[in-house]
Structure 1
Amino acid sequence: MQTYMAASRVTKKDQKKKGAATAATGGGVLGIHHITAITRNAQRNIDFYSGTLGLRPVKITVNFDDPTSYHLYYGDYMGHPGTLLTFFVWPDIHKGTRGTGQVTTVAFLIPPKSLEYWVDRLRRNGVSVVGPSTRFNDAEQFISFHDPDGMMLELVAPSSVSSYVHSKKKIQNEDVSAINYYNVWKEGPVDAQHALRAFHSAAISEEGYEHTASLLTDTMKFQLVAKDEREGRFRFKAINNRKLGEVPEAIGSVVDVVCQPDITRGIVGIGSVHHIAWRASDDSHQLDLRRRIIKQAHLDPTPVIDRKYFHSVYFREPGGVLFEIATDPPGMTIDQKPEELGTKLTLPEWYEPLRSKLEQEVLPPVNLPPRNMTKQHKEESSVA
């Protein structure tokens, strides 16, 4: 099965047409753009991530390398970079196993006062929860649980904004609940005050530490900001993370590298993260990062590939995790209005001739949770 090379490449001519001549930032990545994992069942995935966790389904499309399978996107109301968790629906592949060379945990940011709400909500929905626990000298509390396919998730509540972003700048009097509150999906089933705000971080399990750390700090411009040597956990923050357009500062800026030399190597499959994507502000920034990955890190990134909602460059970091550099534009609203996001099947232009066959013969229909589930109980929407 092809994993990332089949979609159309972006030529230099295309980049000029799409306004890619804006000046590169000169800095590193802006933080996490999206994380893509693998699920066995589309409906069960939607029920959990939208119905239970309250993320908005912002795009229901197909895998651009395999149009016979769904690619599901979840995020905040607008599907901003830094909030996007996506899934390839591959029911027939093997079950993944946790280990080194993988993103082993995906963590979302929540306000500190929301921990009790989430423990109760998850348990009422039949989810086994561990915690609350603390990390980094009580700088954050978190709970851990698994999704229906076995992928490890965390909801993390920093004690303050500064303890999360490691910045001297104050954000609304250290009110963590203010981070990205404007963009939460207020029509979803979760009370807006408790809604998942964005990615907090991702944890990467590695057999070693130095080579991945060097890539993060020297080439991608992360900064080591905390460490727990007892756990072998090293925290890095994207120092180029900042407010850009509608994407606020302090979302998705953190990655933890967990050194686990005694753990066997993981196998990517159902319940695993397939890849993690890092934000580039535009095409020029992406090309600058690609050049540095080649010259400084001596790695072999792909050409730029058009994924319609962003442009992508892929490469494997020294520990084996598949990394992507993805542009913020064009974004999720390139083919749907904000109020229409995730309400029907969208296809890239090159697959439109297959729409009837895909909808009627190939893709199983899926039902979306009703909006305002706890208040209005609207009828379910159906796609495909």
Structure 2
Amino acid sequence: MSPFICSLIYGLSVLLVEVCGTYEVDPAKVAAQSYAQRRTVARPQFPPLRTLNPAATDSQCRSRPLDLVFIIDSSRSVRPMEFEKVKIFLADMVDTLDVGPDATRVAVVNYASTVKIEFLLKDHPDKVTMKQAITRIDPLAAGTMTGLAIKKAMDEAFTEQSGARPVSKGISKVAIIVTDGRPQDQVEEVSAAARASGIEIYAVGVDRADMQSLRLMASQPLDDHVFYVETYGVIEKLTSKFRETLCGLDPCTMGHDCEHICLNSISSYYCQCREGYLLNTDKKTCSLKEVKVEVIQDPCKCEARLAFQKQTQNSLQDLTARHILCVLMEGGTAGDRTGSCLDTRGKGLLGLLSIQLTITS
């Protein structure tokens, strides 16, 4: 190897040692520095996940079918961010309801100086499209014509043409009014007319709402139909309250007196019997259907007698299969087989079949 190359290699070696010494890394120092950085750098804060009232998951609690109309104040006093809180409240309420054509139908009436029906009871048969429609609602601003809004809801939103169900169906009509101010029109008479037409009114006051006006609008008892919250920021707390208020219990799961089948109705339950049985006059117990033996041929012909005997035997076998036993009545003879059927389960004389067989050669 030439002297020049040896000198070059030596020089590079010395330079490499100096560089390594300059940038020597101490693991302990690195760990300490990293810990200090972790302490000084703020972690991002994420809002907690919003959950609804645990009562909403109660298996014995379900919202009863309703024709429900929200009447919401979007006057000038309701700031844009506050109105967004109202829309969140509406969406949360929809989440707690059993929404559907045969369950709860929902409409929204928006008002200020003017009144606008945002969507009707018949417009959205499912929660997804309904909540999408809620997000598209804009405030109207200006005044607070609450009485006009109630009248429009009564005359247009709660009609059969708009999706409300007939009175004969027994579906409750409910209006929930949300406002933060004093009405600029009369509410007493129109509210009384709405209640007289069968509409149950809940009044929700926020912040500066006039409590006297809320009482004039709401249904009785007032303690159950008038609510107040300090700000729109806490209006979502009412979701659980309305969940309990609008909740309907399942009568069949709570206990019933039906012998066979219990079916829920709107506010109670009714009984039904299994196939082959009839519901008794007490509307709770069931009895076996009567078995009739019909002779469709001329009884004077020999073939008719044989057919009658065969049909009778089939009927007796059917009764035996259903735990019914035919026994001879007191005083009967083998030649004169007059029989009556007794329920072998001890329920007494049923009188389901009384026949006389005369066998002649």
TM superposition score category, shorter chain reference: under 0.3
State the TM-score, normalizing by the size of structure 1: 0.21
Bigger relative CO (Cα 8 Å, ≥ 6 apart): 1
Larger helix proportion of the pair? 2
Larger strand proportion of the pair? 1
